Amino acid sequence: MDTSTPVRTGPRVRPELPATRVVALLVNDLDVAGAPERAAATLEGTRFEVEAGTVTVLTPARAGRTVVLCLTGQLARAGGTVETGDGSSRRDVATTSWQLVVTDDPDPADGSTAADLLAVAGRGAVRAAARLGLTAVLDRPVAALDPADRTLLGVALALAGGPDVVALDEPAARLDSDGLGRVLDAVRDLVDVDGRTVVVVEELDRLPATTHPLVDAVVELGPFLDAR
């Protein structure tokens, strides 16, 4: 039996998305002071939109990280609005239960297996891990996972609570091009089938051309100033 991975060619045909919560973001005139210790830039008058059920790259990385830190409440808005919802339901995220979660690669030093961590996180994480193709490695210690599987495990754990948006912070900094392609391909399938919304903070020139079809939109943030 041929168990090789099929090679995808040509543009993806995205299936019709299932009914999900509206999680689109509309950012207008966002001002946020950067944090040099977190490699985050200062944003001034930034405008962009993230559509629900997409993979969107926020670039350059320092500016993208500022947006993520702002959306997680770690950097305060100095001005502007960040809204979610459509039409008459649109409102500022600060007045809703809207949530963005940043993925974090699990620490390989504590001796836990992937299954151990998923069991603690709950059923949502277990289901996400299966969807991300991790079933075959669940019994392995985290330390024995390859970097791409470790990153995907972090994504599964981040999805445990059903956040509106999941963010990957510079995955290319810790993965080679093949590993990055695996991660984005698995995340792409999660987005297409479950209607998830994912943002990727990354330098655009670090995304291999082979991964470009896995991305729906690129938001080039600006104007911004590097925090010193």
Range 64-80 burial, b when 16+ CB lie within 10 A, else e? bbbbbbbbeeebebeeb
Does the pLDDT at position 2 exceed 90?
Answer: no
Give yes or no for a contact between 70 and 31, defined as CB atoms under 8 angstroms apart. Answer: no
What are 15's two structure tokens?
């299936």
Give yes or no for a contact between 216 and 56, defined as CB atoms under 8 angstroms apart. Answer: yes
Does the pLDDT at position 3 exceed 70?
Answer: no
Average the pLDDT over 2-6 and give the result. Answer: 43
pLDDT digits (tens, 9 = 90+) for 36-79: 888 999 999 999 999 999 999 999 999 999 999 999 999 999 99
Average the pLDDT over 74-85 and give the result. Answer: 93
Query: Average model confidence (pLDDT) for the chain?
Result: 88
Residue 109's Cα: distance from chain center in Å? 24
Residue 87 banded pLDDT, cuts 50, 70, 90: confident
- Domains of the chain: residue spans and CATH: 21-99+165-171+196-228 (3.40.50), 100-163 (no CATH)
CA distance 180 to 177: 5
Q: Give me the DSSP letters along 166-225.
A: EEEE-GGGTS-HHHHHHHHHHHHHHHHHH---EEEE--GGGS-GGGGGG-SEEEE--SEE
pTM given for the model: 0.86
pLDDT digits (tens, 9 = 90+) for 139-150: 999 999 999 999
Which residues lie below 8 Å from residue 45, measured CB to CB, with a gap of 6+?
29, 30, 31, 80, 223
pLDDT at 227: 56
Exposed / middle / buried, residue 206 (Cβ in 10 Å: 0-12, 13-18, 19+): middle
Helical spans, DSSP H, in 51-195: 61-71, 114-121, 123-131, 147-158, 177-194
pLDDT at 23: 59
The residue among 83 and 8 whose pLDDT is bigger is 83
Residue 22 banded pLDDT, cuts 50, 70, 90: low
Give the HSE-up count for residue 119: Cα atoms under 13 Å, Cβ half-sphere: 7
Residue 15 banded pLDDT, cuts 50, 70, 90: very low
Does the pLDDT at position 16 exceed 70?
Answer: no
Average the pLDDT over 154-175 and give the result. Answer: 94
CA distance 64 to 200: 8
Residue 6 banded pLDDT, cuts 50, 70, 90: very low
What are 20's two structure tokens?
């999900």
